[in-house]
Amino acid sequence: MIARSAPYVVLSRVPQEERTQHAAAFEAIGAALRAASIAYAEVDSIYDRYEEDPDVAFLREVAGDLVFIGWHYPRALKWILARQGLEVNGKARALHCLDAREGEPAELAARVEKILAGTSSAVVAAPPKQDSPADGLTPKQRGVLAEQALPNPENAELSARWYPVVDYDACTNCMECLDFCLFGVYGVDPAGTLRVTNQDECRSDCPACARVCPVGAIVFPKYVTNATIAGGEDDGERGSLKLDLSKIFGKPKARHQAALERDRELLKAGRKPASADKVDKLSDEFDKLDL
Ligand code: SF4
Ligand code: SF4
């Protein structure tokens, strides 16, 4: 049996736009780790980094297990790190993700101590595969459910970066998101797997495709309007993850809402809303009718 070294502890700096809110907590967490004699490294806000940035390259080179303390939900942290090229699921690494916003700094440090001692875990485990949404409806069927007003964007002009992170534990590779997004954010790799290929083409504060994904596999870590879309969980237990799908697309006419959000972004980008194409098409077809 190969002896595993103790996990490496990393504390992420607070995203730029949240510094006022969390600066004191960041300092307090660092102090609590030091008081507990826990060695740790600091990296910049991981969601805002680019794959080629030194902090990200450094993380990729850390061998073995990792305890990552960041400013997003643990599920979001896991898939942000995966997006940055870190192994998060493999045999070589256990990745423990802790939300720095949860609990007191001393409690967080105590939790890290237990993880280092091997008596606790914060690994975000894969949930049982979900082939279809809990409500048993297709995206189209869910799209004709009740109406809901478009919520006001709360993230606009806040986020330095904005892009979807895919939870590959949940993703079924159905390509709904790729078909839906008109900004070319999604693509497929040579193996035919869905990838976020042009992440910075994503429209700031547009979470539309997260509503379209049938299994809730798309996470926008900085979306403050809806915790589930930001990677939050209902009961905090990723092992028995129960995403409240109704929060994403149960109650409202989610597909309609997503289409509105997409149209808003198309308009902001100076492009024609997709629904306008639909109206034009219907109008052309109507003109062809011999009435
Ligand atoms: S949020 Fe909007 S722009 Fe971004 S990937 Fe999804 S549909 Fe495309
Ligand atoms: S819609 Fe969801 S499940 Fe389908 S490919 Fe996109 S992320 Fe994966």
Question: What is the best residue among 166, 171, 178, 185 to mutate for testing ligand 1's pocket, by most ligand atoms within 8 Å of CB?
Answer: 185
Strands 95-99 and 66-70: parallel
Tell which of 117, 148, 174 closes a domain. Answer: 117
What amino acid occupies position 75? R
State the Cα–Cα distance between residues 81 and 97, nearest whole angstrom.
10
Note whether 153 and 268 are same-domain residues. yes
For the chain, the domain total comes to 2
Question: In this structure, what CATH number is given to the domain that contains residue 238?
Answer: 3.30.70.20
Average pLDDT, the chain: 79
In the block, which residue shows the tokens 């990723």?
238
Ligand 2: does its nearest atom lie under 6 Å from the Cβ of 173? yes
In whole angstroms, give the CA distance from residue 284 to residue 220. 38
For ligand 1, say whether the CB of 181 is within 6 Å of any of its atoms.
yes
| 199 in contact with ligand 2, CB cutoff 6 A | no
Provide the domain limits for residue 33.
8-117
Q: Is the CB of 245 under 6 A from ligand 2?
A: no
Please report whether residue 125 resides in a domain. no
Same domain, 150 and 59: no
211 in a structural domain: yes
Q: Is 211 in the pocket of ligand 1 (CB under 6 A)?
A: no
Judge if 81 and 203 occupy the same domain.
Answer: no
Q: Which ligand is nearest to the CA of 185?
A: 1
Neighbour tally for 249: CB within 10 Å:
26
Residue 267 has pLDDT above 70, yes or no: yes
Using alpha carbons only, give the angle 17, 227, 156 rounded to the nearest 5 degrees: 35
Bridge-based pairing of strands 194-196 and 95-99 is unpaired
131 C-beta neighbours (distance < 10 Å), count: 8
* Distance from Cα 132 to the centre of ligand 2, integer Å: 11
> 178: CA distance to ligand 1 center in Å?
9
Contact (CB, 8 A) for 91 and 43: no
Domain boundary among 117, 150, 172: 117
C-alpha span between 200 and 154 (Å, rounded): 19
Residues 103 and 143 both lie in one domain: no
- Look at residue 289 and tell me if it is in a domain: no
Q: Which residue's alpha carbon is at the smallest distance from atom 3 of ligand 2?
A: 171
Query: For the segment 79-118, what is each residue's pLDDT rounded down to a tens digit?
Result: 999 998 888 877 778 899 999 999 999 999 999 999 999 9
- Residues of the chain above pLDDT 70, percent: 74
Number of H helices, E strands in the chain: 10, 8
- Is the Cβ–Cβ distance between 135 and 248 less than 8 Å? no
From ligand 1's centre to the CA of 196, what distance in Å? 10
Has residue 96 been placed in a domain?
yes
pLDDT for the residue numbered 150:
40
- Taking the C-alpha atoms of residue 94 and residue 101, their distance in angstroms, rounded to an integer, is 22
Q: Are residues 239 and 163 in the same domain?
A: yes
- Are 146 and 210 part of one and the same domain? yes
286: buried, middle or exposed (CB in 10 Å: 19+, 13-18, 0-12)?
exposed
Q: Which of 82, 117, 152 is at the close of a domain?
A: 117
Structural domain includes residue 3: no
Distance 17 CA to ligand 1 centre (A): 21
pLDDT over 60 (residue 13): yes
What is the Cα–Cα distance from 159 to 155, expressed in whole angstroms?
Answer: 7
Task: Return the percentage of the chain with pLDDT > 90, whole number.
Answer: 42
Per-residue model confidence as pLDDT tens digits over 47-66? 999 888 998 999 888 888 99
pTM of the model: 0.74
Per mean pLDDT, which range of 116-125, 187-196, 202-211 is the poorest? Answer: 202-211
Q: Name the DSSP class of 282.
A: H
Q: Is residue 79 part of a domain?
A: yes
Identify the residue with better confidence: 166 or 146. 166
Same domain, residue pair 18 and 144: no
Per-residue pLDDT reduced to its tens digit, 124-159: 988 766 555 555 655 445 444 433 334 444 544 455
Please tell me the distance from the alpha carbon of residue 42 to that of residue 199, in angstroms, as a whole number: 25
- Separation of alpha carbons 200 and 51, rounded Å: 13
Let me know if residue 19 belongs to a domain. yes
Q: What angle do CA 107, 109, 115 make, to 5 degrees?
A: 105
Examine the domain organization and report whether 169 and 103 are in the same domain.
no
Distance between Cα 260 and ligand 2 center (Å): 19
Amino acid residing at 81:
L
- Determine how many CB atoms are found less than 10 A away from the CB of residue 7: 21
Q: What CATH number has the domain bearing residue 32?
A: 3.40.50.2300
Is the CB of 265 within 6 Å of ligand 1? yes
Q: What pLDDT, on a 0 to 100 scale, did the predictor assign at position 291? A: 40
Does residue 15 sit within a domain? yes
Number of the ligand closest to the Cα of 161: 1
Helix extents (H) in the chain:
19-35, 54-61, 74-83, 105-117, 139-143, 176-180, 208-212, 245, 254-268, 274-288
Q: Is 43 in the pocket of ligand 2 (CB under 6 A)?
A: no
Res 44 pLDDT > 50: yes
Q: What is the pLDDT of residue 80?
A: 95
